[in-house]
Amino acid sequence: MRSMNPRLLLFTLLSTPTFALGVTPARLQPGPTLSLPWAEHGRLSQVTGRAPIGWSQEAYVIPQRPGKNLVRYFDYHWRNHDYLDDDGSAGLRLYFYDREYPVARIAGGLIRESWRYLSDRFQYRPSFKVPYILYNTYREFLETNVFAVQEGVLGVTSPQDLRMSLPYAGEREFFKLVSTHEMTHQFHIQKVAERAASAGMESPIGQFPLWFIEGLAEYYAHNQQMDSETEMFLRDIVLNPNGEIGYDFPRLDEDRPYSYLYTYKYGQAKLVFLSETYGERVIQGVLDQSPRLVGGGRGRGEPREGFMQLLGHVAGDTPAQLNARWSTWARKRVMRTYLDAKQDLPDMTELKLSDELDAFTSSKDGNLLFYRGVERETARAKLVVLDRRDPSSARQIAIDQHPGTESLHPVLRSVMAVSDDAIAWFAQSGDSDVLHVRPLRRRERSPGRSPRVRIDLDLGETRIIQVIRDGLIEAGDPTFSPDGTQLAFYGLDRDGKIDIYTLNLKDADPHVRRLTDDLYSERDLSWGDEGIVYAGDATESGRYNLFRIDPVDGTRTRLTDAPVDQRYPVTLAGGAVVFASDAGGKYDLWFLQNGRIKRVTDFATALSHPGLAPNGLYGVAFYGARFRLFEVQTPALLSVDEQDAIPPGYLATIDKPQPFPDEPIPQNAPVYDPYDVGKNWKVEGGGAAIGGAGVGFAPVGSGGVLFADIMRDRSALINLAIYGSFDLTDALAFYVDKSERLIWGVGAFHTFQQGRDTQFPSARQCFQPATTQNLATACEILYLQREFGVEGLLSYPFSTFSRVDASARLMGVSRSLFDNFAYDRSGFPTGNVPANELNAIKGSDPQGELSLSYGWDTTRYGVSGAIGGTSLLVQLGGGDIPTRGYDGLYTYLQADAIHTLRVIGRSRLNLRLATGAAQGSRFGRRFYLSSFDNLRGFRWGDARLLGDGYYVGQAEFQFPLDVLIRFAFFSGLTGVFGFDFGGVVDSNRAVQNHAGRGWTKLHATLAEAWANRTADYVLGVNFGFGPFELRVQFAHGINVGGIVPEQDSHGNTTWVPNISLHYVYF
């Protein structure tokens, strides 16, 4: 949605909400990660953001990743202000915190302007009060608990509870654009719901195609027009379609929910088409008559067809006629500009780069390029420097999504600078951006008799400068001084203001120096001989024009004045400047010198982001579905539309920039009370979930409700489930506080589980040769264990990638026997057990347990699961059953390490090592390995996978098959070749098996663990179902001198099928 950064296309899957009216946090399948006390309570993981591992007696072992953390770096003291109800509407409640009070007054005024505008266009006043949560900076917005957002998401609106959340981030016009976009969702949601309610129906908001929902928001955010970015995208899809990659002109009724272009920008174009062809009455008419979408019930046809029928009814055309008119309208609109353009692909020279271009900067001679590229397969941003004369000179400088370089801010802003002898860049690390500076020297050489010049880039040590110590949270658009000794950049401080800063790199411990201090925004810096040229919005129109500032005394000079955006200046000798302007609705390069400007390019789609080239200028164009770097050589440059940089008619208002609105919000506005349940708490997920049934006289039912405050910093969960008997009751009441960096929770529970005992005294006979005396001896006893008590947790993230968790539980335990409970060595429930041994199992005991876990996780995910990174999870726990004396003590240790390595394209290699050990009470921890995930040579449920110790090593190569073959209904097809090695041991059985040798328990256990080793290789195919994956794999045992789990009638190893359904983002 960023008005002048169309590269959002590159981050469709990462930055676009799944349903743009609101981002629903991704719910991971309940499965082991860090040990927290709620494995049996699936909904609690929604409250904490942590997936559970469980407190069952038998820990179910599958691959475990800790997951990344949302770290709360800043403190918030919230207030709220109710207003906008003076027009008869329900109005809006603005939430803001104390240190953003000046920004809140500005934002409040801009919100009022949008409210009035949309009330007029929709002819509607919202009847439900809008909760509007304002953040000062984008960095603070990203760490919110209100919505699960990630970099690239600019604002969110919930269609369920109408919550809105977005940052001001220092740019007035951009905030107004995003705020109006999100506010349009509010008016859309409420108007449609109210029209449906008046007809006695449920809201049909879910029946609208996403292109209409987001297109409507973009349409009104851009004043019911096509902005230059949308015009550019529309020109390219009409002029340069490519069906082989799915880049073709969309039908009017076509919805592509996962595409930024097709949803937002072509959606906006479709709304402009409807308005220009049929009048705006058609757009609001669709909303007014939207109850027709559900008028025939939910089973009435396919929703999208229903929408087109409604649109045709309101417009007075059939869907086929609508589609035909849309196609004709788009082509006519594009062709007018195309036929007038004076330049196209033959007039440019494209520089082929190994990565998808996102941003770049060049040296004075134009040969040294420092660019930010994006790996399409992994969505990682990287910085690369190279000399264009020698492509082999390319050096990767940085890549994001790992500790130290969490983000290189692709799409959002430029972070690179280059001089003749150094490079510099900003990267997010922890709570702020960090500046990196690295010396660089170019060496030319001519190898042998080759006429081709070779360039070696010698890079020095990286110098890191922490700008947050001077109060800066975000920074960008850096530029070196002409002599390379200083650096200028824009910084965003904690007050939400964007200003220009400089840094003297000659200082041993440099601190930033502030050049500007105002509410206006300064961006796109370029340092020339006569000062720093930048684009600023301190203009009469609020659009970005060019200024020059003296880096010594801060004196500012206005260079241009026009009601259009003039961005990305590059300084030249003699005070000249090249910049990009969207004058005429299309971006092109312009030249400024001696108070006059002229256009030097007129490219068919658009050309922007200029740079110095050896024989002309660089420019970036969106052409053929991607951004490309072109060189426009000097002879091909135009000289047209010459005019005064500051027209004489504008001189009277040149020093009168557009003032900021000032909403009279009281400084003593009511303090937000997170414990005022009646005012500030809501039921999450649309309400309580309750269901029940009866099976004979046995009650079966479940219900649950999740409450949270407006900020979702504090949550309370109540869950109850009964499974045929009140003894089989699963109940939980839990409170979690995530308002600070340290997360804590406390609650009460009642649950149950199946227990298994193989260590009662008479079970030792099962380890001896079978005789008529011991053949009927019980080897295993199954019992029901009820648990009830209190539990608590602490979780502290050190960073995005690591954290420590602690948990504790105090409970009472009651054990009772099933009807068939004693199993002999043949697996029949007819085993004999002495009464005194049964009495030792039955009864009630108090029990306590503690655990401490450490997790490290840099795993990166793509559409088919993990695509790179490393995770480590170590968990240490112990407990005590005090009524059983020394025999009641137990402890356990588990570790799981996973490394994913991208090989090429979407193929990847997964490596895993896992181990676990438990000792002590027979009612303590034991491990049960999932054969699907650990040792696939075993069949599911094999008793040999149960023990108190295990070790597993795995290697698995996955490669895409859908490039060769595709199946309907599957989102992906992946081939698998893997290898498993490991073993499971029961230490008590090991002692019995090695009795009489004089071995210690440790010696016997290690010997037994090695004797139980097994190995297999695996072939298979994984079928993708969106976030789920059906794994059809076959394992073949390898005889490594230990256990061969499966053999045929001749004693040879054989194949074992493994078919399972998994959630790929475990």
**Coil, strand, or helix at residue 81?**
strand
Among residues 90, 83, 89, the alpha carbon closest in space to that of 111 is found at 83
Q: How many domains does the chain have?
A: 4
Residues 58 and 26 occupy one common structural domain: no
986 domain residue, yes or no: no
| Average of per-residue pLDDT across 622-644 | 94
- Residue indicated by tokens 């009795």: 995
**SS3 assignment, position 50:** coil
3-state secondary structure of 733: strand
**pLDDT tier, 875 (very low <50, low <70, confident <90, very high otherwise):** very high
What is the DSSP annotation of 94-108? EEEEGGGHHHHHHHH
User: Is the pLDDT score of 6 beyond 90?
Assistant: no
CB 839: neighbour CB atoms within 10 A? 9
Report the distance separating Cα 788 and Cα 844, nearest Å. 11
**Where does 724-762 show beta strands of DSSP type E?**
729-737, 743-757
Residue pLDDT, tens place only, 34-62: 222 233 333 334 444 443 333 345 677 88
My answer on whether 556 and 478 are in the same domain is yes
Contact call for residues 1042 and 983 (beta carbons, < 8 A): yes
Q: Is residue 725 predicted with pLDDT exceeding 90? A: no
Query: What mean pLDDT do residues 743-766 have?
Result: 86
* 3-state helix, strand and coil shares in percent for the chain, rounded to the nearest 5: 25, 40, 35
**Region of poorest pLDDT, from 361-365, 630-634, 735-739, 815-819:** 815-819
Beta bridge partners of 514: 501
Give me the count of residues in the chain.
Answer: 1066
pLDDT grade for 905, boundaries at 50, 70 and 90:
confident
> Which of 806, 833, 860 marks a domain boundary?
860
On the question of pLDDT at 382 being above 50, the answer is yes
Q: Checking phi first, is residue 855 left (phi over 0); if not, alpha (psi -120 to 50) or beta?
A: beta
Last residue of a domain, one of 340, 360, 385: 340
What pLDDT sits at residue 655?
Answer: 83
**Amino acid identity, position 858:** T
Mark whether 366 and 490 lie in a shared domain.
yes
Residue 116 φ then ψ, to 5°: -65, -45
CA distance 26 to 28: 6
- Residues 985, 1005 contacting (CB under 8 angstroms): yes
In a domain, 566, yes or no: yes
Does some domain include residue 895?
A: no
* Amino acid (1-letter code) at residue 531: G
Look at residue 664 and tell me if it is in a domain: no
Check: CB of residue 706 under 8 Å from CB of residue 716.
yes
> What pLDDT does 302 receive?
43
Q: Is residue 976 part of a domain?
A: no
870 lies in some domain: no
Same domain, 159 and 209: no
Residues 528 and 390 in one domain: yes
Q: What is the pLDDT of residue 701?
A: 61
**Mean of the per-residue pLDDT values of the chain:** 88
Q: Which residues lie closer than 8 Å to 60 by C-beta, 6 or more apart?
A: 32, 54, 928, 930
Positive or negative, the CA dihedral 770, 774, 776, 781 is: negative
Distance between CA atoms of residues 797 and 748, nearest Å = 25
Regarding whether 46 and 6 lie in a shared domain, the answer is no
Give bridge partners of residue 356 from the DSSP assignment. 374
Please answer whether residues 67 and 50 qualify as being in contact, where contact means their C-beta atoms are separated by less than 8 angstroms. yes
Q: What is the CATH number of the domain that holds 527?
A: 2.120.10.30
- Residue recorded with tokens 């494209």: 350
| Cα separations in angstroms, 1009 against 351, 912, 928, 1003, 1046 | 59, 19, 15, 10, 19
CA dihedral 882, 887, 889, 892 (to 10 degrees): -150
Q: Give CA–CA dist 903/909, Å, rounded.
A: 7
Q: What confidence score (pLDDT) does residue 48 get? A: 44
Q: What confidence tens digit (pLDDT) does each residue in 281-313 have? A: 999 999 999 999 987 444 444 444 589 999 999
Same domain, 309 and 409: no
* Mean pLDDT for the stretch of residues 553-577: 95
**What percent of the chain clears pLDDT 70, i.e. is strictly above it?**
91
Mean pLDDT of 382-397: 95
Quote the tokens at residue 667. 């400084």
The span from the CA of 736 to the CA of 122, in Å, is 41
- Segment 931-975, tens digit of pLDDT: 999 999 999 888 889 899 999 999 999 999 887 777 767 778 899
Contact 257, 245 (CB under 8 A): no
User: Using 50, 70 and 90 to split pLDDT, how confident is the model at 785?
Assistant: confident
CATH number, domain of 174, equals: 3.40.30
Contacts 24+ apart (CB under 8 A), 485-491: 486/527, 486/551, 487/417, 487/424, 487/435, 487/437, 488/515, 488/525, 488/527, 488/532, 488/551, 489/417, 489/426, 489/435, 489/525, 490/521, 490/522, 490/523, 490/525, 490/534, 491/467
**Separation between Cα atoms, residue 890 and residue 848, nearest integer Å:** 11
pLDDT at 17 over 80: no
Place of tokens 């930055």: 15
In this structure, what token pair is assigned to residue 927? 């491990």
Is pLDDT of 649 > 50?
Answer: yes
Q: How far apart are CA 559 and CA 972, in angstroms?
A: 54
- Give the per-residue pLDDT at 49: 43
The answer to whether residue 200 scores a pLDDT higher than 70 is yes
Token couple for 468: 């947050």
Residues 171 and 207 in one domain: no
Q: Cα–Cα distances in Å, from 71 out to 12, 231, 800?
A: 24, 39, 6
The rounded distance, in Å, linking the Cα atoms of 418 and 745 is 49
Can you name the residues that pair with 547 across neighbouring β-strands? 534, 558
Does 33 score more than 60 pLDDT?
Answer: no
Q: b vs e for 219-250, b when ≥16 Cβ sit within 10 Å of the residue's Cβ?
A: bbbbeeebbbbbbbbbbbbbbeeeeeeebeeb
Q: Which of 47, 24, 37, 27 has the alpha carbon at shortest distance from 709?
A: 47
CA nearest to 259, candidates 280, 271, 245, 273: 245
Whether residues 492 and 385 share a domain: the answer is: yes
Residue 934 counted as domain residue: no
Write the DSSP symbol of residue 345. Answer: G
Query: Which pLDDT value is given to residue 758?
Result: 81
Q: 21 pLDDT exceeds 60?
A: no
176-180, 683-687, 802-806: segment of lowest average pLDDT: 683-687
User: What domain range includes position 132?
Assistant: 1-30+77-193
Residues 97 and 225 in one domain: no
CA angle 624, 630, 636 (to 5 degrees): 115
Say whether both 607 and 584 belong to one domain: yes
Of 952, 959, 938, 942, the closest CA to residue 1035 belongs to 938
- CA-to-CA distance for 916 and 984, rounded, in angstroms? 9
**How far is 76 from 503, CA to CA, in rounded Å?**
30
In the structure, what pLDDT confidence band is assigned to residue 765 with cuts at 50, 70 and 90? confident
What is the reported pLDDT for 42? 38
Question: Cα 1054 to the chain's mean position, in Å?
Answer: 43
- Which of the listed residues 806, 829, 860 is the one where a domain comes to its end? 860
Residues 116 and 261 in one domain: no
Secondary structure letter of residue 64 according to DSSP: -
In 3D space, the residue among 1002, 1004, 1003 whose CA is nearest the CA of residue 991 turns out to be 1004
Least confident of 90-99, 666-675, 961-970: 961-970
Which runs of E-coded beta strand occur in 446-471? 454-459, 463-466
Identify the pLDDT of residue 465. 95
Q: 112-146 burial, b for 16+ CB within 10 Å, e for fewer?
A: bebbeebbebbebbbeeebbbbbbbbbbbbbbbbb
In a domain, 919, yes or no: no
- What H or E segment, with its residue span, contains residue 178? helix 172-198
Task: Specify the range with the lowest mean pLDDT, choosing from 54-68, 192-206, 221-235, 553-567.
Answer: 54-68
CA angle (974, 980, 982) in 5-degree steps: 155
C-alpha distances out from residue 938 to 753, 935, 958, Å: 25, 6, 21
- Compute how many other C-beta atoms are within 10 angstroms of the C-beta atom of residue 982: 24
Cα–Cα distances in Å, from 415 out to 356, 567, 715, 936?
Answer: 16, 16, 38, 47
Non-local (6+) Cβ contacts of 853 within 8 A are 34, 35, 66, 804, 805, 806, 873, 874, 875, 876
